[in-house]
Amino acid sequence: MSNEVSLLKIIKSADNFPSYSTPYPQQHPLTGKRLVPFYLTFKDFQHRIPPIGVFPTSLLKELRSEKGLQFYSILQKIGQGKGGHHKNPSSASSKTDQGTKNVSEPKREHEEVHTKEDKGKNENEKSKVEKKGHNKDDYKVIVLAVFFSDDTNSRGKDGRTEVMIRIVNKWREEGKFPDAMKLWMDELFAIYASPHSTLWKDDEAARNPFGNVAFEIERAATPIFGFTALGVHMTAFEGQGDDTKIWAPRRSANRIRSPLKYDSSVAGGIPAGMTPLQALIKECEEEAGWFEVLVRKYVKSAGMISLFEITRSGDLAPDIDYVYDLPLPSRESKDYVLPSPNDEEVDSFELLTIPEVFAALRNQEFKPTSAVATIDFLIRHGFITPENEPDYSEIVKRCHRRSGIAGPGI
């Protein structure tokens, strides 16, 4: 295998967020604008635990009037210098892989902290400065974090879910964020907060598997806030060694994303309230006609992949996918079931040899995320090795990306 046919390019198409050295991404790599972290509580921000999500500052104007959320903001003095505005001379510079970012820290006598539910216009906040004898036009409001109000948190997961569903439903009715909303599926995803949240200090249940669910939200809206989305990918195969063949479905022509591309044998999101295995069993029946008894008997959990995508509209999509292998029994077995499309998502199934799988990957015939899951399968089964893939180390690392955003147990 030569450099010209390395599979790294395929990985980068699905995991296209540049690397960063900060605990979580703090700057949008395309616009250069600051990203705002979203937390359960203000104390979580203070304790610097992984945020629930991150989003561009442009989203703040859509959130200012929403009840149930609070902002943590400071008033930063704007200095006048050669060439126009510049940041306070006391600013500290921190360098990340996304570039150099100046993090300004205003002088203490000019700092104002606001944690209020009524997020009115900036003028209301700046008026406080005038009372101290300063010119309000010399200051700008900088929101450092968004979190749920105490009243919302007092109502638990249901209260937070109510707030988030109300917000995204209103946006959909108003025609906002059309690139995300066109993928609306009327399916809720569970969104996770760090199990170390101060809200769960005495709640051992939050440390159980999938016990740190913060709220639920329509799955199409997750990239708007930079929330982690969960999914499952299963590779079904027949034979062993060089005789291995993989079942690859063609996605239907009516799919918005990657129509007529190859997919994982079975793949899908994990609806709220389901474990990865439960979601997989549901998808197996819907997409391939493989029923629960077959899946439970033969399926093997094989780990997970994690990616960080920037969508075409610039939204942020950290992704965790649990991967499974389904070594099908021999065709002579009474357990063998030929896969067949069972819903509108799949056009047809094809049984591909390993060389045919490699060719399809290099020709970009797979949906990007499914390509990564397939590459993970080929690595685990010894078809991709350090000897035949020049970018082996980078590929393995990129299949297990650290996002810094909260997820199950994170």
Side chain identity at residue 201, one-letter code: K
SS3 content of the chain, % helix, strand, coil (to 5): 30, 30, 40
Q: Is residue 408 part of a domain?
A: no
Tell me the pLDDT tens digit for each residue of 354-385: 999 999 999 999 999 999 999 999 999 999 99
308: helix, coil or strand? strand
How confident is the model over 61-89, as pLDDT tens digits? 999 989 999 999 998 887 633 333 333 32
Together in a domain, 191 and 238: no
Which residues lie below 8 Å from residue 364, measured CB to CB, with a gap of 6+? 10, 13, 371
Q: Is residue 30 part of a domain?
A: no
Tens-place pLDDT, residues 12-66: 999 999 999 999 999 999 999 999 999 999 999 999 999 999 999 999 999 998 9
In a domain, 21, yes or no: no
Torsion, Cα 197 200 204 207, to 10 degrees, reads: -30
The pTM assigned to this predicted structure is: 0.86
Helix, strand or coil for residue 259?
A: coil
Of the residues 186, 207, 225, the one at which a domain ends: 225
Residue 406 lies in a domain: no
**Do residues 350 and 365 both lie within one domain?**
yes
- Strand 229-238 and strand 316-327: the pairing is parallel
Residue 29 falls inside a structural domain: no
- Using CA atoms, how far apart are residues 88 and 327, in angstroms rounded to an integer? 62
Among 203, 225, 247, which residue terminates a domain? 225
Are 263 and 218 contained in the same domain? no
| 248 and 352, same domain (yes or no) | yes
Q: Tell me: do 60 and 152 sit in the same domain.
A: yes
- Token pair, residue 255, equals 């799919």
- Claim to verify: residue 345 and residue 364 sit in the same structural domain: yes
* Structure tokens given for 72: 């943590």
Structural domain of residue 252, as residue ranges?
3-16+228-398
Q: Directed axis angle between helix 354-362 and helix 368-380, to 10°? A: 140
Distance in angstroms (rounded) separating the CA atoms of residues 354 and 379: 12
pLDDT computed for residue 133 by the predictor: 58
**Residue count of the chain:** 410
Considering 225, 242, 257, which residue would you say is the last residue of a domain? Answer: 225
Same domain, 70 and 152: yes
